[in-house]
Structure 1
């Protein structure tokens, strides 16, 4: 159900502690906004000097108000913060918006103060946003407790940046978007991003949720909440390109970056991940209306060949398809156009729009109705005829009127179908394009924006949702090569026969237990291959003994592993690893393995544990996936067995939180099953 945040967003009464007549103080801006909704609920201004603030009588303290206060905004110097919070709780406050800064962001002492305040708030049964936040607003309840005014709409913005909210307001305006809620997250001492996300998911006035976060705190909980939100969630985050601060001790750790982890979490949770405020506004413009494409096939309609080719390239670059139209659709399109028009895909009016602006609408109707299309992108000059009335485009009054009528017809065709329609126009602010926007059709000035908008509406190849973490197993005390291998074998992962040896006598005894060819590995070396501590294909006991003597003289390892050499001739080597991220927990990596793992970096990521069906999807998405089905006369390998092995490894790692990194590399996949040829684990 989540926490009850009703007192935050629809309080019975509000008090602004630290309200001021001084425009340089944040308490002035908050108070000025708060009194805008004075008719909705009592709004009290508190200033320790009393007197008047903004022409209203100010109370010298919360107690002096003489009645309970449901929500208190605290904007006082840090030295008086705890006392102000205590007074608010004593006066019955169920919610606190803490503007005051100077806590966790300042260091250990500030974190300790912040923790104490948060514990006091929770003990009183209240909730607190902040500290070090810029306030909040809820347009659906006339609650204005931030320094700026936000245009009403259906997007809830949960942000660690106030200026970003101002930029988004400007970017939303051309698309007819606005805010249902705005919350500045601050330090998240009590109410977290996850709490707010869950509450906005339940909020009837919110159609989509936008998030700007620099610190997820509990990233896995964020992904879990987003996966069940039932509404579009769009994330803009910073610092994704930095590698993990922890020094990686495996290929998995070396190949895993913050960007990979965030992208994997978003894909698993069905979150749209964006890189810029512009992209965020583009995606929200396409998703806020609630339309989703049934597939990834796009019909492109243009009134100029260049625009059509560029749009088709942009659509395909966005991961969508531009298929050839079927004969029935081509015939219907041809009826609306003239002989020189192209009716394949892209469909090019080739000047027909100037002869008959209504041809735009007729063609859009045909493309929306086509069974072989899931969405339509119209690109080019449309809007230019009506723009002529503003001195922007080129065309007479008749063409302008015709274009306006075409826009109304396009809007009607759009309402009659569930398919997404997106428009790119040279004149996105023209009257005709404004008609489209008012009908819920996204219009963009840039082709790449239109393509990105359509990609946001397309279905994903992955099932949305996270597999729950398993119950923690008994911790591993030793994670040497053989100890890790035995633990994985016990979990169900097959390995070749192996024996640990310390001298020549034990080595020769091992050769009597299983036949060659053999593999010799020096133990207690993290990267055995890099150190020359692995020898493969040793044909018989004599060759094994000779290599052992040479390797032991060179490395002096305390022990070695003698193993049966697997037949590599018909197999594919994979890597399966799990890296434990401090925000998102266990993160799995799957890809092409062996010594080529790092040079080729053909890997993909997902949150662990990974069920076999998702593992199969990950394998099929690798660039080298064709190797799994056999190439140049090689047989296909057992991909199903590989997927089950991935499930085993990732479930094992997820059940052992004491493991920072776990890796099986290579995992040999053959036509008849899998064998793990090497493994390593690193304790946290």
Structure 2
């Protein structure tokens, strides 16, 4: 449900409860920043001792103000927090920013207190940010209720860390980027990350949304909100390794989610996932200009062979292509450059820039104009000629002036082309590089940052479907509820999946030798015998394959029953394994992202090979095929060493049916088909299991 956050970001009036003259108190920092609004709205400073705060008369209570206050910042000791919230609501507050800490992040008792406060706020029809937060700011409405200044710009920053927010500001400043909004998430007792992403998506002053989160709350709702945002959402998260997970659990009561699930959710929702504040700033800078590449082909352009080779390696390591340019394009470039220049890709001026600085601009323009190139990386010395210190000629020399003129020509060419240019320069602060930044061309000191920027600007790799058409964009699908089943034993799970459209070989559950002989006469051999009610049947010796006839089946049953004493067994028709590949398809319930699908190479070696892919469940058949073709072993699906190609479309349909059936039943902690046999003739599920939640 959409929430109206106007009272949070553009309130009619503000009160800071706990405002102080003491610089050691957070109420002082908030009050200092709040005064910067310079009369935009009524501002009331409240201190129970009265007197003055920062030269302004302070009210002794909210009630003493004598008029309603729409937004109240609460920065008081923990013992007085509940009373402060009640007083704010009684005075008509529609939004409360709770700086006070000591709630869910301390454990179960704190969570109970926090929940009780949040319930009262919601019942009053108000909003609560926090508790345990560092404030909010909105540069578009001159609302300054955080302890630090945030330079104005187009990025909304939603963060569970104040220091990381400050570092991000430092990293974005050289790119000329700033913030439309800042919100410290705190414990998200009421206003959640999902609420804020949805509101920032509607906010006209926001071009991109940056998130640092340890606790996603409802992770699936976050992914869905990001997918609908219509603006770039860039995420930095913690908790994907053991050490960071321990840290996250001790900070703001966070619950972390496994890295595989987070990666899958971000991919499906179109969220740019980053690992460090530096990478977050790099991606935001690349996306801000709005020029996206139509493909993943990069032309590397340099003025030194070493820089070109290193940059080409960095681009290819990042998953992009550095293709050799065609003979006609190489001929065109050769006409622009001198004989020593390399024109294959990387394109290397080989010293011509010192003779003719405008050769930089002519070459960039030629590469951008080519249909063979989706993006250009300019790497090396460019910027050095016009640098204030060092370089050939310095700022006043002819080379410096020529390079600056070339930069201005590039700055004209790039917006007109619509294609992205990313620059790596030894002199990123030079006047030439500043001229490029002024029109939104990303400039980086490190080549790995430039390569990451290019990845952010490129479309995701999308393997074609069996028909050859590209897969559609991925979107998280909501699970559809279904009637719960009882004890999900082996045959109950099989019937559920068969009803969903997943094919299985004929099978019968038996509890005696007479029933076993009757089952053997219902369908022909060879047979498979399985001991039921064992979680990992193969590991326990509870599966026997290729039993040729009834007598072999009876003998196997007698031996197995003597060893295992299982209450029942399954007799099944043996599938032809000769020309197939075994896959695994599973769904488990993640505590933050809900049902998550896994597909990969299956059978008894699943854990050893580890060739699996994840997605939010359920998945469509198109999405399933994309996952399958993204496996390291995907070549097996198309046939190798003379084997025929497999029916990948049938496998994808089975994956879609399995994930839909599992996602519809949250009473299953896990549901798994292993193996799913894929052959040239179709797909067949050979075993399944379900684990109750």
Q: Same fold (TM over 0.5)?
A: yes
Aligned residues: 672
After superposition, give the CA deviation of every residue in 1:316-372 in whole Å (9 maximum; x if it has no partner): 111111112233432332222101101111100000101111100110001111111
Give the C-alpha shift of residue 542 in structure 1: 2.2
Distance 2:415 2:587 in 1: 47
Q: RMSD between aligned alpha carbons?
A: 1.6
The CA distance in 2 between the partners of 1:578 and 1:470, in whole Å, is: 12
CA distance, structure 2, for counterparts of residue 19 and residue 295 of structure 1? 54
- Equivalent-residue separation in structure 1 for 2:275 and 2:146 (angstroms): 26
Give the equivalent residue in structure 2 for 1:234: 234
Note the C-alpha offset of 1:541: 1.9
Do the aligned partners of 1:384 and 1:395 also contact (CA within 8 Å) in 2? no
Residue 540 of structure 1: aligned partner: 549
Whole-angstrom distance in 2 between the partners of 1:628 and 1:619? 9
Preserved CA contact (<8 Å) 2:392 2:399: no
Matches within 5 A, 1:66-465: 66-242=66-242, 258-387=258-387, 389-391=388-390, 393-396=391-394, 397-460=397-460, 461=462, 463-465=472-474
SS in 1 for 2:281: helix
Q: Contact 1:498–1:563 (CA<8 Å) still a contact in 2?
A: yes
Task: Measure how far apart 1:477 and its partner are.
Answer: 1.0
1:626 to 635, 638, 645: 635
Aligned to 2:613: 604
Task: Provide Cα deviations, 1:445-503, integer angstroms capped at 9, x if missing partner.
Answer: 11111011000011122644534334321111111112211221122211111112223
Kindly indicate whether the alpha-carbon contact (under 8 Å) linking 1:469 and 1:655 is maintained by their aligned counterparts in 2. Answer: no
The whole-number CA distance in structure 2 between the counterparts of 1:464 and 1:184 is 32
| Secondary structure in structure 1 of the residue aligned to 2:379 | strand
- How far has the Cα of 1:390 moved from its partner? 2.1
* Change in 2 beyond 3 A, CA 1:257/1:480: farther
Shift of 1:28: 0.5
CA distance in 1, matches of 2:535, 2:393: 73
The question of whether the paired residues in 2 share the 8 Å contact of 1:242 and 1:257 is answered with no
Superposed, which structure 2 residues align to 1:613-652 within 5 Å? 613-652=622-661
- SS across alignment from 2:589: strand
Residues 73, 98 of structure 2: 8 Å contact kept: yes
1:574-621: CA deviation from partner (whole Å, max 9, x where unpaired): 111001101001000011111121111111111011111111111111
Question: Is 2:691 the partner of 1:659?
Answer: no
CA contact (8 A) 1:243 1:258 kept: no
User: In 2, distance between residues paired with 1:471 and 1:189?
Assistant: 27
Give the 3-state SS of the residue equivalent to 1:385 in structure 2: coil
- Contact 1:516–1:540, Cα closer than 8 Å, also in 2: yes
The correspondence for 2:576, drawn from 557, 561, 567, is 567
C-alpha deviation, 1:190, in angstroms:
0.7
Distance 2:206 2:478 in 1: 30
Confirm whether residue 531 of structure 1 aligns to residue 530 of structure 2: no
Does the CA contact (< 8 Å) of 1:575 and 1:597 recur in 2?
Answer: yes
- State how far apart, in whole Å, the 1-side matches of 2:147 and 2:334 are: 56
Q: Secondary structure at the match of 1:386?
A: coil
Q: Give the structure-1-normalised TM-score.
A: 0.96
1:570, distance to aligned residue in structure 2 (A):
1.2
Q: Once the two structures are superposed, what CA deviation does each residue of 1:103-127 show, in whole Å capped at 9, x if it has no partner?
A: 1112222212211211111122111
Counterpart for residue 587 of structure 1: 596
- Partner Cα distance (1:329, 1:223) in 2: 43
With structure 2 as the length reference, what TM-score do the two structures score?
A: 0.95
Secondary structure of 1:145's counterpart equals: strand
Match in the other structure for 1:521: 530
How far apart in 1 are the matches of 2:479 and 2:596?
A: 14
Identify the residue that residue 551 of structure 1 maps to in structure 2. 560
Give the superposition deviation at 1:681.
Answer: 0.3
Residues 470/166 of structure 1: CA separation in 2 closer, same or farther (3 Å cut): closer
Decide whether the 8 Å contact of 2:619 with 2:660 is kept in 1. yes
Alpha carbons of 1:665 and 1:683: their partners in 2 closer, same or farther (altered >3 Å)? same
Between stretches 235-244 and 26-35, larger displacement belongs to 235-244
Do the aligned residues in 2 keep the contact of 1:659 with 1:682 (CA within 8 Å)? Answer: yes
Q: Tell me, in whole angstroms, the C-alpha distance in 1 between the residues paired with 2:688 and 2:55.
A: 73
Relative to structure 1, the CA distance from residue 14 to residue 465 in structure 2 (aligned partners, 3 Å threshold; closer, same or farther) is farther
Distance in 2 of aligned mates of 1:332 and 1:414: 19
In structure 1, how many angstroms separate the alpha carbons of the residues matched to 2:478 and 2:73? 38
Name whichever of 543-552 and 274-283 sits farther off.
Answer: 543-552
1:5-20 pair list within 5 angstroms? 5-20=5-20
Find the aligned partners of 1:658 and 1:52 in 2 and give their Cα distance: 59
CA distance in structure 2 between the aligned counterparts of 1:331 and 1:217, rounded to whole angstroms: 57
CA distance in 1, matches of 2:621, 2:332: 45
Equivalent-residue separation in structure 2 for 1:581 and 1:621 (angstroms): 23
In the alignment, the residues of structure 2 paired with residue 42 and residue 133 of structure 1 have an alpha-carbon distance, to the nearest angstrom, of 23
* Corresponding residue SS for 2:221: helix
The 8 Å contact of residues 386 and 430 in structure 2, kept in 1 or not, is answered as: yes
Deviation string 1:67-117 (CA, Å, 9 cap, x unpaired) is: 221111010111111221122122221111111111111222221221121
1:622 Cα deviation after fit:
1.1
Partner residue in 2 for 1:251: none
Secondary structure at the residue paired with 1:567?
coil
The whole-number CA distance in structure 2 between the counterparts of 1:451 and 1:465 is: 24
CA distance in 1 between counterparts of 2:41 and 2:406 reads 47
What do the CA deviations read for 1:362-402 (whole angstroms, capped 9, x no partner)? 10001111111111100011111112x324x3445111111
Distance 1:243 1:649 in 2: 35
State the alpha-carbon separation in 1 of the partners of residues 38 and 474 from structure 2.
43
Q: Tell me the distance in 2 between the aligned counterparts of 1:499 and 1:74.
A: 66
Are 1:45 and 2:45 matched, yes or no?
yes
* Superposed CA offset, 1:233-263 (max 9, x none): 0000001235999xxxxxxxxxx98111000
Q: Measure the CA separation in 2 of the matches of 1:283 and 1:316.
A: 18
State the distance in 2 between where 1:257 and 1:243 align.
Answer: 13
Describe the SS at the equivalent of 1:488. helix
